[in-house]
Amino acid sequence: MTNLMKGILPKFLQIVFFLFVFISQEMNAKEFDEEELINKAKAAILLAPNNPDSCKQIALEILSAPNAKSEAVQAFTNTALAEFYFYTQDFDSSMVAYKRSLEGYIAIDDKENQATMYNNMGLIYYYQGFYGKALKNYTASLELEKAIGNDEGIAYGHHNIGMIYGRWERYDQLFEHYDIALSLYEKLDRKESIAALGNNMGVVYANLEQYDKAMESYRKSYFAYKELGDKKNMASISTNLGCLFIYLKQNHRAIEYLNEAISYFEESNDKMNLIATYSSTGDAYKAIGDLKGAMKYYLLAEKENEKLDLLERKKDNYYALYDVYKTVGEFEKALQMYEMHSALKDSIFSAEKYERLIELEKKYHSEKSERELLLLKAKEEKQELYLWGLSIFFVFSAVLALIWFSVLKFKEKQKRQIMEQKILRTQMNPHFIFNALSALQCVILEENQEEAVDFVLDFSSLMRLVLQYSKEENITLKKEKEILERYMSLQNRRFDKKIGFEFEFEEQLKIDRVLVPPMMAQPFVENAIEHGCLSNLSDGYVKVRYGKEKDYLTIAIEDNGIGIKQSKAKSKLLKHKSLAMDLTKERIKLLHENRGKSNSELEIQDLSDYDLKGTRIAFRIPYMELN
């Protein structure tokens, strides 16, 4: 909900009908001066949430008035039109009108309403899934609110920016902004805003799998909205509770809450909330095995989203439909949905990347201009002191030259090592793809059509991840875990899911912040499967452990196969040499050299020495975290 007319109490909405009749009659009766037209535009804005058609009619009548050409009248009237389009959920038209309003408010130097326009445009970008653009507008709004000292606007700014970081799963920044917003809301005694923040916190806790905290946050917000008589937000919390019960596998209870929300949103024609609620209802029906019911609600969500074009919702809905079609055996439709999901996912990813590049470029040029001004000033001062400090200058230049030479030498070495790492990663990709295609060949030869289709889809998802992340020098442990899980899922299709696979992380490791070069453990996992003969066992397993030891990240891969001694003997007979293992050893060595470390040994143990079965491989790499 937009927050343009801050300070106007909800009681004014009770006189909507009388206000509309009065304004319409008065405008037809006489010509108004600029201040009167602005006041009528403000009154029209108040009508938008409950009576958007009346809001639009008054705005158009104002624009047709003979003396409605001033920038101030145009700004407020375009805001009324923007609010009409927003509440009728025509977001593209609303954005155009908000931008026109912003131009007018800039022209009349109205910083308060400039801040509100940036906030409202950020909200539309947020709904449409353009989070980079949303953050840019929310930040501009926050800076203006700080400049005019508006605590309520500052609270809204931090609240909205926190929501963006939540979408990017950067929860440290989210909690930082939410804490500021909550303290200001409590200071201002804004009960509705405190309830909204509590609802958002419930979503965050649910994503973090802290379900008790999520339930408590939703409960407090629900009763706060009930006390305020806010049925719309009560329905929104019912949707969130439905999603929470899906997480808790209480799907029939989830459907009860979701149906309650659907009843309200259908009655109020709230298409945006209907899309989210329909989609969640489809998830609940799918979870209880009612695929017909699931498909019904996914298709309803897709139909409602045709006009709004909410990209994130479309992406998720396409994948849900793919999963249902695949399960019921409609493979052609399943493949179509998967391709649409992948295309949309790539377009969102590219748009976000492009937005960030534009921001970085602007920041670079701004900083470059500042640096040029500082250099010019320094040059003038140097000229003034030149005669007095000539000898000092030469000494300083000599020292600087030596430092610069050392830095260049170090950077050249670092650049060479990074290039070698990239070459090694490039060599690993064809090797990895070859092994995966060999597995696909086995499935095709077995003439299992459904299994082959699933394998191709899983293989394409895995390749997308491998090709995407292999371009990066480092990725988070969370992403590395995702690659390995996809890889093991693919391998288990070959062996009828006979091989168990698990991760073990030391408690101190935050997997969404710890960095690791991509696909460090995968060659050793592959080696355990292929050369440890795990497929011949009924209880074969591979375990990957991550820990921290001083300035190092420790990685260990353990299996219960035939052991390294028997594996080596077998490899000699077959004259086989593991290319991926050799490449990974070289990568580990280069990582240590790049950080000036010396300990790059790879420890390989045959567990038969300890009266156990299998092999354990352990190594260390320099510990890194996201800044």
Q: Where are the domains of the chain?
A: 1-109, 353-408, 410-625
Q: What is the mean pLDDT of residues 413-437?
A: 54
Q: Where are the alpha helices (DSSP H) in 248-270?
A: 251-267
The yes-or-no verdict on residue 349 having pLDDT over 90 is: no
| More confident call, 65 vs 593 | 65
Determine the 3-state secondary structure of 146 from DSSP.
Answer: helix
Mean pLDDT over residues 29-36, rounded? 66
Query: In this predicted structure, which of 45-49, 108-112, 270-274, 388-392 has the lowest mean pLDDT?
Result: 388-392
How large is the C-alpha radius of gyration of the chain? 31
As a dihedral over the C-alpha atoms of residue 276, residue 282, residue 286, residue 288, rounded to 10 degrees, the angle is: 100
Query: Mean pLDDT of all residues in the chain?
Result: 80
Structure tokens that stand for 18 in this block: 């009388």
**Alpha-carbon distance 627 to 623, whole Å?**
13
Helix, strand, coil percent content, the chain, rounded in steps of 5: 75, 5, 20
pLDDT tens digits, 443-497: 676 666 777 777 788 788 887 887 777 777 889 999 999 989 988 888 887 777 7
The answer on pLDDT for 204 being more than 70 is: yes
Q: For 581-601, write each residue's pLDDT tens digit.
A: 677 777 788 777 766 666 667
Domain 410-625 has CATH 3.30.565.10: yes
CA distance 434 to 428: 10
Which stretch of DSSP H or E encloses residue 546?
strand 541-549
